[in-house]
Amino acid sequence: MKKISGKDNPTVKHITKLIKSSTYRKEQGSYIIEGIRLCTDALESHAEIQTVVFSEKLTQTNPKLMQSFVEVCESTLIFSDKLFSQISDTKTPQGILCIVKRTERKFSFEKNSIYLGLEHIQDPSNIGTILRTAEALGIKGVIITKDSCDIFSPKVIRGTMGAIFRLPIYECQNMAHEVQKMNENQITTIATTLHQKSIPITAITEQQKQSCAVIIGNEGNGLTPQTIHECQIKAVIPMQGRAESFNVSVATAIILWELCRTK
């Protein structure tokens, strides 16, 4: 168990870059999580924790928590309280962070399952909330385009409330291509878009709901024309008020609930 107090330490620089740089996270194949709840959730979900870092204060106030990580982690470090506060990405650091290996939970398209596609979603808060909702409702898997914001950024991970460790997520280059594959596997594909052929999401039949995938588009521009074209159904959420649209995470929650509620 190594103690570190200086910011010039290579491991400190490595952690700082993992927190700040999406490119570096992809290069290294790892990401940072922070806080007692999230780190404990990662441990219980059997995420591959490469390194755990404690503040000096936490080692004194919560030795039981510390021991639970020491027993399973490859590397354990202790940072001075000042150093931990300096590198922390949270306003009120709790004295624990982990370097977690990035793993892809692959999945295949199967019948009697519901999938979610996310195309060019840019707001980290939206993606975090969407992934949390998807796991809560039992979505089989999430397909997300690589031009969306980094799902392993600290803000997204906090928003998922642990769903990032358990929810199968696949990053793709082209959503229209993935929609074609789902169509071939007899998965009903649903584009959420205001289109001349759009129907209310509530009009989708029970049979169509059994094996389906709903595709959600960019916050400002929606889905690409190619993706809309490939989807078998175009659908909207019926609205009665004067608001023009829902926030994308709210819209996703409403749509997923509607698709899942009879299961």
CB 135 within 8 A of CB 142: no
For residues 53 and 154, give the distance between their C-alpha atoms in angstroms, rounded to a whole number.
16
| Structure tokens given for 225 | 């024309």
Domain 114-260 matching CATH 3.40.1280.10: the answer reads yes
Domain with CATH 3.40.1280.10 in the chain: 114-260
pLDDT mean for each 10 residues of the chain (263 residues): 87 96 96 96 94 95 93 91 94 95 84 95 96 96 95 96 94 96 95 88 93 94 95 91 81 95 65
- What are the beta bridge partners of residue 144? 118, 171
Question: In this predicted structure, what is the pLDDT of residue 243?
Answer: 67
Q: The whole model's pTM is what?
A: 0.91
Cβ neighbours, 10 Å, residue 121: 22
Residue 204: what pLDDT? Answer: 93
Per-residue pLDDT, 228 = 96
Is residue 235 within 8 A of residue 198, CB to CB? The reply is: yes
Q: Where in the sequence of the chain do the CATH 3.30.1330.30 domains occur?
A: 2-101
Angle subtended at Cα 149 by Cα 118 and Cα 146, rounded to the nearest 5 degrees: 60
CATH architecture of 2-101: 2-Layer Sandwich (3.30)
pLDDT in the model for residue 262: 65
pLDDT number for residue 184? 94
Residue keyed to tokens 């397909």: 143
